[in-house]
Structure 1
Amino acid sequence: MDYDAIVLGAGGAGLMAALTAGQAGARVLVLDHAEKAGKKILISGGGRCNFTNMGVEPGCYLSANPHFAKSALSRYTQWDFLDLVQRHGIAWHEKTLGQLFCDGSARQIVAMLLDECARGGVEIRLETPLGEIGHADGRFRVAGASAPRLVLATGGPSIPRMGASGIAYDIARRFGLNVVPPRPALVPFTLGEADADLKAISGVAFPAVASAGGVSFEEAALFTHRGLSGPAILQVSSYWSPGEPVRLRLLPDAAAKLREAKRRAPRAHLKAALAEHLPRRLADALAARLALPQELGNTPDAALDALGAELEAMEFRPTGTEGYAKAEVTAGGIDTDGLSSKTMEAKAVPGLYAIGEAVDVTGWLGGYNFQWAWASGVAAGRAVAEATAAGRAAT
């Protein structure tokens, strides 16, 4: 069976590419081994799908080429996707830091994408093993279908329980494309024996500034039975390299707060002063770790200043991360040097496109990765449609 394009992957990026090309007149087939379309969409945002962010800009993305995402993001913005959501009557709300969620269910976003695919006459085959991918005479052949254009939209290996894998990298390498070594991103850290005392406060969340890899994020952090998590931690994990420390600002202006506590209540101990600003269990754990048994009134100001400096940049050395099983996305991926930033087409393989999480573009937590899926999908979908129209005109 012949098509104008075959899209591998029925996730956000793949469906967006398919509906864009289909509505512009291309005959599109989407193939996926999963039993449902949009499986990662369905579990995202606690089931409500954080579908984009008000603050999307290229600087919110990590890539070996920081300029690569600019073209696609500028030509299909968060406002464009929000318009689509509103045209489908999906109620939404804004949470912290510009994050947009469905009022109802993530199923509404999947239904919207499938409705748009149907409008474009897109054929979707689920539970379909891909098998070998052939390429000869300017056509790609997969699962009994052929087309002059093939779109890789199978994502990365994060959340393997959803059926995720690195198949996009295998296909890309087969066609001569390089792959930036993939790694788990937006992922919790594990801590070792040096921080075993913190396991006792598993479940304690607190506001913090987390720093690693030259970046800092101010959001909530969380101690877990295995290490560190929470939005601030997930954010810096994308920039962290093994062996590097992670620093947490646990208490802003800590030295001044400790001096003030000493002035007001000189007979109080450190944990009482900390408990005025931090969760009680965290205050107790920090007081034990910092080992200051004296009353504040008997503690020199210089010692309080040193403690304050530690509270503003407490250092942890993760033993690693919780891996792809707990990673929300995959960093690294198909090297952007081999792709057109305008069309997402492989420079050396006409008709081959790569989009979404499969590509070496990783966004911040908070809807940024979905926006990359939408934008890169639209870029490839438009390019497929234009190439289809040009091919028909030539014949």
Structure 2
Amino acid sequence: MKAVTWQGKRDVRVETVPDPTIREPTDAIIKVTSSGICGSDLHLYEVLGSFLEPGDVLGHEPMGIVEEVGAEVSHIKPGDRVVVPFNISCGHCFMCRQGLQSQCETTQVRAQGKGAALLGYTKLYGQVPGGQAEYLRVPQAHYGPIPVPQGPPDERFVYLSDVLPTAWQAVQYAAVPEGGSVAVFGLGPIGQMCCRVAKHLGAGQVIGVDLVPERLALAAKYGVVTVDLSDDDTVSTIRNLTAGRGPDSVIDAVGMEAHGSPAGKIAQQLTSLLPKPVAAKLTEKAGVDRMAALLASIDTVRRGGTVSLSGVYGGMVDPIPMMALFDKQIQLRMGQANVRRWIDDILPLVTGDDDPLGTEDLATHQLPLGDAPHGYEIFQQKQDGAIKVLLKP
């Protein structure tokens, strides 16, 4: 089969790899019909190469048609249309029963000291082949795959794999008061959906912050008050929109590769030039993120407010402004999305006749699988108005 493989920094290629097969009775094989390129994939493309091997199959936002199931998989069958969550979870361990599927004790990557295994996401998270491919082996398929109806286009459902649950959790963690205010830093796919989910769940004022014109325009289309990050004083602008105190809640949907962090960018670039074993160890023990979005979030939120992190951070020696966090009495919540925890809340919104979250207009580019290198490039470089790229095997 054809699959998108990592070969080096900013080097992904579509290659022929072995077809997946059933290995465990809880496995399934799906024929992939759509698979997203995620902002987290760009971390692999740019920063986290020391945790990958040439030939690793990428992608953790797939959906498709079931081809084959193992003996212990009963809730789906061949011919069913399913979305596959990016975290691989069993559904019955202590952590899964707490709604913390991203910490699943059955698939935890204990050798790396990490939580649940993830599709297509480095040896830190199990080195499981991903879903930017023609076919995908789905572990723990007795629990993970989400059946969806035939008929509507893939764009209606594919974001159940990551984007929608991540945005939903980010808003829930942000604890926006009914009718209250929330600012979202970063208007990529997750940030766009954070804005829409926040409005759907009752936020009175949603402020979106970015510096890419197309992203600002798309957010404004959904009633978001937009703030251009390239303006001189973003924090003051947001405070002026919120009675001078700052918003009740702030969501950081940017993460480790924020603009405006030159020292962090240089550190990441220098690390990527080191031999892989040295770079991996340095990243694990002394990694430095580009912290501009997090620092702005802490500065912006009102006293007694909540900061929710959905953007991925990986640094171990990041300078956290503890005095500001303590003095402002800020609550801070974060973590990988627990996809299955939120599906029952989200599924009615994407299976009804309407499309209240606008899922069908999020993808700016739908490309054949063979054009994946181009898709990665335009998404990473923010070219051609790319906000969300879907690959079509």
Q: Structure 1-normalised TM-score?
A: 0.24
Give the greater-gyration-radius structure (CA). 1
Report which structure shows greater RCO (CA 8 Å, sep ≥6): 1
Q: Structure 2-normalised TM-score?
A: 0.24
